[in-house]
Structure formats: structure tokens, C-alpha cells
């Protein structure tokens, strides 16, 4: 499939990918997407949430390496030299942290 091939070509040229949302377009997300999820080092924001609501993780059978918090706290070894995927479930705490950073940046320049 053309769209699956474009995803595979993009992914193999890059070492990092961020996935947001569900796997809604099966043509785009075909086997090459599942292969990337299975072979990449997958970080998620919530292990429990990913196993409940992430089509990318559930349908591909991807193995979750770590939660983002575990990686940021240094609780797991870095995998920076490998192909990594961050699967975001869109947790509210991420929105709050982003808003706080944006607010601080905006007020620091005034």
C-alpha cells in the first residue's frame, strides 16, 4: 500500500517518532506500522492507559519498554542510539506541564 510504504520509508529514515491518537486509518497503519511498533523501543506516558486504550500498542502487540516518567527519572537505561517511539495517550498532566512551561516562557520575556 502506498500510504504504508510512505510511513515505513519515513520511519526508517528517522530514529525518533512520536505517535499521538489511535490507530484509526488501517490503510496507513498497515503491517509496516505494526512492524515499526514491534521493533522500535516503545515509550508511553501510561502503561495502564496504553494497554487499555492505545490501538497502536494493542493491535501491533508492541512491547512497552518504559513509561516516560521512568525514563526521565533515570530508572531505565537510555536507548537513545536506537529507534524509539513515544506513544502519547494525551494525558491531562502533559497538557498542564506544557501550559506551565509556555506561561513561564511568556512571562520571563516581559
Q: pTM for the whole thing? A: 0.70
Cβ neighbours of residue 91 under 8 Å, at least 6 residues apart? 45, 46, 49
CB 49 within 8 A of CB 89: yes
Tens-digit pLDDT profile for residues 14-41: 677 777 665 544 444 444 577 778 888 9
pLDDT above 70 covers a percentage of the chain that reads 75
Show the beta-strand stretches assigned E in 3-83.
16-20, 41-44, 64-67
**Is it the case that residue 104 has pLDDT exceeding 90?**
yes
Separation CA 26–CA 79 (nearest Å):
29
**Is it the case that residue 1 has pLDDT exceeding 50?**
no
Amino acid at each position: 500500500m502506498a500510504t504504508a510504504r510512505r510511513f515505513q520509508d519515513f520511519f526508517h529514515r528517522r530514529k525518533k517518532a512520536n505517535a499521538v491518537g489511535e490507530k484509526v486509518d488501517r490503510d496507513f497503519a498497515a503491517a509496516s506500522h505494526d512492524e515499526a511498533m514491534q521493533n522500535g523501543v516503545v515509550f508511553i506516558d501510561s502503561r495502564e492507559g496504553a494497554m487499555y486504550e492505545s490501538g497502536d500498542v494493542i493491535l501491533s502487540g508492541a512491547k512497552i519498554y518504559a513509561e516516560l516518567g521512568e525514563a526521565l527519572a533515570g530508572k531505565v537505561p537510555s536507548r537513545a542510539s536506537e529507534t524509539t517511539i513515544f506513544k502519547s495517550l494525551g494525558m491531562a498532566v502533559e497538557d498542564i506541564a506544557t501550559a506551565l512551561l509556555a506561561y513561564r516562557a511568556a512571562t520571563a520575556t516581559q
